Chain A
């Protein structure tokens, strides 16, 4: 498996609190992605990064922010968690050439109560 780890793996948080999920890679890959997975919706892109400090929005970016201060870490922050953000979050990485495989982390199950 590619060297990609997500933390935490599970989290329960209260509505209105900020939450940060971490994606860490040891592959030195350029691209990093955050997705959320919900039944019936597949994998929806939240934000992605194409280099240190270079990020762009995906299709469901409202309520989320990201930061990438170094190649190996991509952080996803829920500024004020809502119940609609209860989901499974996946991080993915891929190498510098655009047409290469993306590897996924193990996922983080987030529950907002």
Chain B
């Protein structure tokens, strides 16, 4: 089955600097890669996603890149703000017929004011 590895497990960044979180996946058939943000005591919520036919996607301060050959994808947050402090999860989902959504172990991001 799919295995998703996520690094680092914790990350502290000065406010205004950039943060990068990296994930690798094992199943080359996976074709959908979402990123979720979870604030303390809340449910995970989607912040950005990318499909396997796209190499990069950007939404304001957040961007995701995908390298299908190397089977890794990354989340980039620029101009970080205190409200970006949360746990971030990457995930990978298989094609039709194998729709398991497998998550990484999470990154706790702390923005230092």
Contacts and interface: CB of A to CB of B under 8 A. Distances in A.
Tell whether A and B belong to one assembly: yes
A21 to B, nearest CB: 15
Given A90-B44, A101-B49, A104-B44, A44 B103 contact: yes
Contact of B101 (A40, A42, A45, A106): A45
Interface residues of A, number: 27
Interface in A94-113: 94, 98-107
A48 B91 CA distance: 15
B100 A58 contact: yes
Given A58-B100, A59-B102, 9 more contacts: A33-B101, A42-B104, A43-B44, A43-B103, A45-B102, A48-B101, A56-B100, A99-B31, A101-B46
Interface in A22-64: 31, 33, 35, 40-45, 48, 50, 56, 58-59
A81 interface: no
Interface of B: 1, 6, 9, 31-32, 34, 43-46, 49, 51, 89, 91, 93-96, 99-106
Contacts of B102: 45, 59
B67 to A, nearest CB: 18
A92 interface: yes
A41 B95 contact: no
A99 B100 contact: no
Given A41-B105, A99-B31, A31 B99 contact: yes
Nearest to A49: B99
A98 B43 contact: no
Q: Could you tell me the dominant secondary structure of chain A's interface residues?
A: strand
Nearest to B31: A99
Given A99-B31, A101-B49, A48 B100 contact: yes
Contacts of B106: 42-43
B94 A98 contact: yes
Contact of B32 (A42, A43, A90, A99): A99
Contacts of B94: 98
Contacts of B9: 40
A107 B43 contact: yes
Residue from the set B9, B43, B44, B45 with the largest chain A CB neighbour count within 10 Å: B43
